[in-house]
Amino acid sequence: MPELPEVQTIVSDLNLKALGKKITGVWADPRCRGTFLESGGKGKSVEIRKLLEKLKGFGFSRIERRGKNILFHLKKGRTELDFLVHPKMTGHFLFGRFQLEGKPPVLRPAENDSALTEKKNGYLRFGFKLDSGDFLVFSDLRRFAKIILGSPRDLEGSGHLALGPDALSPELDLKKFKKIILAERRNIKSVLLDQSVLAGLGNIYTDEILWLAGVHPLVRPARLSEEALKAIFSATKRVLKQSIRLRGTSFSDFRDLLGRPGGYLAKRRVYKRAGEACPRCGQPISRLKIGSRTAHFCPNCQRPLP
């Protein structure tokens, strides 16, 4: 699943490529559905095509990341709409020259671009044709993405953006971080994964953060020392910023706006490295199940508390 660095990579690229452009046409896979927020914030499931049709003539006025969500702010005259996409497991946006082929029409890359034509980028579910002649399209192998359209007020009040503080927010200082973490009684891995506690983290980066901080994934926050809490806070900022610089992790489906993989995969310390040598002490990396998630850690560097 794309986590904070992957979503931030997409949003940064979108602000360079799509911001200010106007939607002149739309295409959608008829099997895909989304949610339209009616007045008052009540959600109604509809075909994606019907959602997109409402956006013709709108321009992208602002694009931002909220946790793992991509939030498009669109305007047409004085009318404003918000379009939210949570990529979930396999979703990512692509930007470039595409064309409709066949009957019924299917969206395909217009040029033989080795990145855009990669199989990982071939599961196109919807697309916006822009006034520049380019397309902004969404690829999603498993069709799990959450897609919502509504007024800014209805979306903000719907609960879809009810998130904890962003893990990279400049307003999240050590004092606030400690208060949030110490209020929880679950193990630290589960706490860091909870989007209502801290927004943006997932399996990849919680493993990396806890390894860097030297904290076992099953330890409970109340048992963490002041030094350990500082180490987790510092590691969170360090790991996420490093991955953003490297344009995210492409362990599976994630690709950037031009269809290219991120570079953090080669730099990861423990995630999906079970059995390999710990880069700090040389002991084999272990793996354990925590609920429905998997944690990777070094049993020597990240020893459970007695």
CATH number at residue 67: 3.20.190.10
Identity of residue 71:
L
Global pTM value: 0.96
User: Residue 230 and residue 227: Cα distance in Å, rounded?
Assistant: 5
Mean pLDDT of 224-241: 98
- Count the domains in the chain: 2
Domain-located, residue 90: yes
Same-domain status, 224 and 181: yes
Mean pLDDT of 169-184: 97
Same-domain status, 116 and 44: yes
Same-domain status, 88 and 146: yes
Nearest of 53, 2, 56, 47 to residue 29 by alpha carbon = 47
* Domain that includes residue 21, residue range: 4-156
Return the percentage of the chain with pLDDT > 90, whole number. Answer: 92
Task: State the DSSP code for 173.
Answer: -
Same-domain status, 140 and 188: no
Mean pLDDT of 136-146: 96
Q: What is the total residue count of the chain?
A: 306
What was the pLDDT predicted at 290? Answer: 96
46-101 tens-digit pLDDT = 999 999 999 999 999 999 999 999 999 999 999 999 999 999 999 999 999 999 99
Residues 52/169, Cβ–Cβ less than 8 Å: no
Asked whether the predicted pLDDT for residue 247 surpasses 90, the reply is yes
What was the pLDDT predicted at 39? Answer: 82
Same-domain status, 142 and 202: no
Q: Of the candidates 108, 127, 156, which is a domain's last residue?
A: 156
Helix axes 226-245, 4-17, angle to 10 degrees: 40
Domain-located, residue 162: no
Neighbours of 291 (CB within 10 A): 10
91-96/98-101 β-pairing: unpaired
DSSP assignment string, 38-96: -TTS-EEEEEHHHHHHTTTT-EEEEEEEETTEEEEEEEETTEEEEEEEE-TTTEEEEEE
Neighbouring C-alpha atoms within 13 Å toward the C-beta of 236 = 29
What was the pLDDT predicted at 1? Answer: 79
Residues 139/92, Cβ–Cβ less than 8 Å: yes
Residue 162 — pLDDT band, cuts 50, 70, 90?
very high
Nearest of 155, 169, 156 to residue 200 by alpha carbon = 169
User: Residue 227 and residue 269: Cα distance in Å, rounded?
Assistant: 21
Q: Of the candidates 96, 126, 156, which is a domain's last residue?
A: 156
The residues assigned a catalytic role are 2-3, 68, 293
